[in-house]
Structure 1
Amino acid sequence: MQASIVEKIAEVQRKYEELQQKLRAEAAEREVAAAAREVAVAAREAEAAAMAVEQSRKYDELQLQLQQMMQMFQQSQKPPS
């Protein structure tokens, strides 16, 4: 009878340890998933920032072209000396 109780205690202890391992694994999976979401958000933010920089660069380039064209137009309107 004592052997049976010892065996049951060992079985309960083994199941307890298995459950602990399973819970640790699930927690680790959740942490990995959360980290992956954070990386994805950071990547989207970086992409948006890069697009904003590119748009700003293009805007500045067009602004410069417009200024140059205005100068050329103004010079063409001056009477010859």
Structure 2
Amino acid sequence: MPSGSQAQAEVQRLRDQIAQMQVSTVEQIAEVQRKYEELQQQLIVDTVAREVAAAAREVEAAAMAAEQSRKYDELQLQL
């Protein structure tokens, strides 16, 4: 049977272990939160990039349509 001082030492060891586990858990939570925020930012960047690319395609299509319309008008004037 353990003595009183051995029991106290075991209790202290377990308290230290619990404290270390708490610190580790807090660190893990902070890391997960950091990664989550990083992924959110990347999602925003990707979304904006897709929107910019879509807008650029629309501008290009409009420019092509305007050029075709201009050429058509020129041909009409020649006739």
Indicate whether the TM-score tops 0.5.
yes
Match of 1:28 among 41, 52, 57: 41
The count of residues paired between Structure 1 and Structure 2 equals: 66
Aligned twin of 2:52: 39
Aligned twin of 1:61: 74
TM-score, normalised relative to structure 1 = 0.77
Amino acid at match of 1:33: D
Match of 1:49 among 62, 65, 70: 62
Amino acid at match of 1:39: V
How many Å apart are 1:30 and its aligned residue? 1.1
| Percent identical residues | 50
Structure 2: any 5+ residue segments left out of the alignment? 1-13
CA distance in 2, matches of 1:51, 1:8: 64
How many Å apart are 1:26 and its aligned residue? 1.0
Moved over 3 A (4+): none
